[in-house]
Amino acid sequence: MYHKEKSIQIKNSASALYNNLSVLRIAPRRLTHFTVVHANMVNMVSASWDGLNYTHRQLQSKEPNVATSTSLIMQAAFCVLPSRDLLVVTSQKGIQMYESDGSIMVYWHALDTPETPTAQAVFARGIAAVYENYICVGVSSGAILVFDVPSKGSNITLSEVLEEHKESITDMASECSGSQECIANLVTADDGGNLCVWKSGEEFQLLNKIPGFDMSCSSVKLWKGTAVAGYGTGQIRLYEAVTGILHAEINAHARWIYSVDIAPFSGLLLSAAEDSLVRVWHMTITPETNSVEVAHLHNECVTDTQICGARFCDGDGYAFAVTGYDLSEIIRYIQS
């Protein structure tokens, strides 16, 4: 179904972090940006579609104009809003937002770090762009910061802090089907496996809380009102977000899942874990009849590699890319 394409070499290896690959397809310029986190820096590669040009850039996490040591980065993700695209980088020190090509930092938000270190780690993790002009970022305390993003310029403001989760945020996702009809448009996940379902607005509204079973949910997506969650046990669960009804449960992987992704136009689902396997599934979701169907389509094994990032490169799922711990390349697969 898929075969391996030429890999893209990156300047350093990927770190063992959840969701450690972000992809932004820029059709008008016929290129795709990829970002991979290595310790305290973000490796960005822009690949032209003809496969001839690769531009590299490296971003470090630090406060602007401060010469202090950089901090470890937890995640980097592209945020696509109606009016603009931004690259958001979260670390132990704070949150940075860049123009999507990584050229200029437009915003910095520092996290409250205690004077003397506490046993509880402090960091930001979990990034999502939410309709209509919000970027949400999770924090290790469980809080979710909601930023209001103007259509251009750097006048980004912190609009709200949502305090519902009690454990560290792991990942979050906004509704990706493009449908405006979905009531819920954000799902957030934490280290206890708990999912919160929200409706965005001037004041975000909590629609539902789906309890976890004390097992971390490391990656989550929202499609056609269905929350697709990957867990540390290697399970994937599909929940109807607003009601919390469990539609499907897959014993998908033998180790901790690090990434799930959905191709919204085709309903393809991608899952990747520390067991070195990437799997492709197909979901059929009919909200009207409340029916969900999941079929397994394909496996790829990245030998001897604990995978830390996997993403479709386009909305149909024609191609996907994979990163692994200690690996200095982005491996690509396309449909045969």
Partner 1 sequence: MSMRTLPLVFINLGGEMLYILDQRLRAHNTSEDNSEKVMNDIVGTMFSKAFMDELLKPQQLYSHRTMKTVLTRLAHASIMRLNPASMDRLYELMVMAFKNQVFLCLRPKDLLLISYNHMDTIREFVKDTPMAVNQVDETHRKIIEAYSSLSEGELQLLRQTLLTFFQDMHVRVSLFLKDQIQNPNGRFALTTSGPVPHGTDVPGLIRIFDCRGREVRRREFPSGGSYTSSIREGSFELHGNRVIRLGMNMYTVDHPEETHTSRAPSVKADGSPNPLAKEELNLLARLMGSMKTENKPKDESGFRINLFNTDKEEAEFLVQDEQAASELARIAGQFEEEEEEKPEKPSNNKGEELLAMMDDL
Interface residues toward partner 1, by CB under 8 A = 12-13, 15-17, 38-39, 69, 72, 74, 92, 117-121, 123, 167-168, 170, 190-192, 214-216, 232-235, 245-256, 275-277, 290, 292-296, 299, 301, 303-306, 325-326
Shortest Å distance, C-beta 296 to partner 1: 3
DSSP letter for 117, please: P
Output 158 or 183, the one with its CB closest to partner 1. Answer: 183
Q: Which helix (H) or strand (E) holds 323?
A: strand 319-324
Contact by Cβ (8 Å): 272, 258:
yes
DSSP letter for 13, please: P
Output 12 or 48, the one with its CB closest to partner 1. Answer: 12
Shortest Å distance, C-beta 261 to partner 1: 18
Output 102 or 192, the one with its CB closest to partner 1. Answer: 192
Strand ranges for 156-274 from DSSP E: 157-163, 169-174, 186-190, 195-199, 205-210, 217-223, 226-231, 235-240, 246-251, 257-263, 268-273
Shortest Å distance, C-beta 128 to partner 1: 19
Output 98 or 256, the one with its CB closest to partner 1. Answer: 256
Distance (Å) of CA 144 to CA 40, 66, 172: 23, 26, 10
Q: Which two tokens stand for residue 314?
A: 């386009």
Output 39 or 334, the one with its CB closest to partner 1. Answer: 39
Shortest Å distance, C-beta 214 to partner 1: 7
Shortest Å distance, C-beta 101 to partner 1: 27
Shortest Å distance, C-beta 220 to partner 1: 14
Half-sphere exposure of 179 (CA within 13 A, CB side): 13
d(CA 231, CA 197): 17
Output 73 or 173, the one with its CB closest to partner 1. Answer: 73
